[in-house]
Amino acid sequence: MNSQTKTVSIRLKNLCKSYVEGGQPHVILRGAGSEIIEGEMVALLGRSGSGKSTLLNLISGIDIADAGEVEIDGKVITSMSDRERTLFRRENIGFVYQFFNLIPTLSVGENLKLVMELNKAGEAEARCKELLDAVGLNDRYDSFPDKLSGGEQQRVAIARALIHKPSIILADEPTGNLDEETAQDIWRLLDTLVRPSGGTILLATHSMAAAKRCDRVLELVGGELHDITGKVD
Ligand code: ADP
Ligand code: MG
């Protein structure tokens, strides 16, 4: 890619976040910054407790930073109102969680269509079938999440994250709760399905094999982000 055509998809500037624990501030992010280019697949490494989930939650706007800026597709989401941020997230971000987070009282089809309905997007039925086909679960449209295996639930969650064609996909240890073989299936799916969608992907993972498949690798250490691309072995 020519440097002049690169568009920044996610720009993080000096992000700071602390939690108060037992009356003491516990600093999680101390000036984390980075730029992720449109279409890049980026791995986010870091020890357990280093703040990976916290960072993904700030990027998605689920949580709010104490200081610093999150800019997505040129929009500064840290300056938005709660309402604006929620709407922005619904339209522009797809999130895949470690524990899938499907709504247990809704069928697979209803879980997928909910995203489209919240966005008042048309073609929900057609998109739903298209995505279930893509993840190999078109026969599970009417099933409830608790009738599916962990791997199947994560495939539904990936379909849900993609159904509204978000420009950014965030995944928080998407295979952290799956056995090795099922995890491989999910990585293959992320490669074959998510990557060609043209969206930007940031995924928190402990898997070095997964990190090596990515264009770039960032590591959270001491509350700061370091680019360690090429240094992973
Ligand atoms: P990671 O995803 O890298 O394992 P997290 O972002 O979940 O790390 O957590 C980073 C640190 O912040 C941990 O010490 C965790 O206990 C703390 N933490 C996360 N969320 C909260 C919260 N809502 N309230 C208090 N502490 C929190
Ligand atoms: Mg986490």
Contact 41, 193 (CB under 8 A): no
Instruction: Quote the pLDDT of residue 4.
Output: 60
Encoded amino acid at 34, one letter: S
DSSP 8-state assignment for residue 61: T
Condensed to tens digits (0 to 9), the pLDDT of residues 153-173 reads 999 999 999 999 999 999 999
Cβ neighbours of residue 67 under 8 Å, at least 6 residues apart? 14, 15, 16
Supply the mean pLDDT for the chain: 93
Average pLDDT over residues 182-196: 85
CA distance 44 to 21: 25
Condensed to tens digits (0 to 9), the pLDDT of residues 49-86 reads 999 999 999 999 999 999 999 999 999 999 999 999 99
> Is pLDDT larger for residue 183 or for residue 34?
34
CA distance 123 to 25: 47
CATH number at residue 223: 3.40.50.300
Q: What is the tally of structural domains in the chain?
A: 1
The answer to whether position 207 is within a domain reads yes
Helix (H, G, I), strand (E, B) or coil at 43: strand
CA torsion, points 1, 189, 199, 100, in degrees to nearest 10?
Answer: -150
| Residue numbers of the domain that contains 48 | 8-101+166-227
The answer to whether position 115 is within a domain reads no
Residue with tokens 């960032």: 218
Measured from the alpha carbon of residue 174, the closest ligand is 2
The answer to whether position 37 is within a domain reads yes
Ligand 1 center to residue 59 CA distance, Å? Answer: 15
Average pLDDT over residues 164-191: 90
Q: Does 6 have pLDDT greater than 90?
A: no
Ligand 1 center to residue 49 CA distance, Å? Answer: 6
Atom of ligand 1 nearest to the CA of 21: 25
Average pLDDT over residues 3-30: 91
The answer to whether position 32 is within a domain reads yes
Condensed to tens digits (0 to 9), the pLDDT of residues 100-120 reads 999 999 999 999 999 888 888
Instruction: Quote the pLDDT of residue 45.
Output: 97
The answer to whether position 68 is within a domain reads yes
The answer to whether position 152 is within a domain reads no
93, β-bridge pairs: 168
Average pLDDT over residues 177-205: 88
Average pLDDT over residues 116-139: 90
Among 15, 26, 45, 54, which residue has the most ligand 1 atoms within 8 Å of its CB, making it the best to mutate? 54
CA distance 46 to 49: 8
The answer to whether position 217 is within a domain reads yes
Tokens of 124: 């929900």
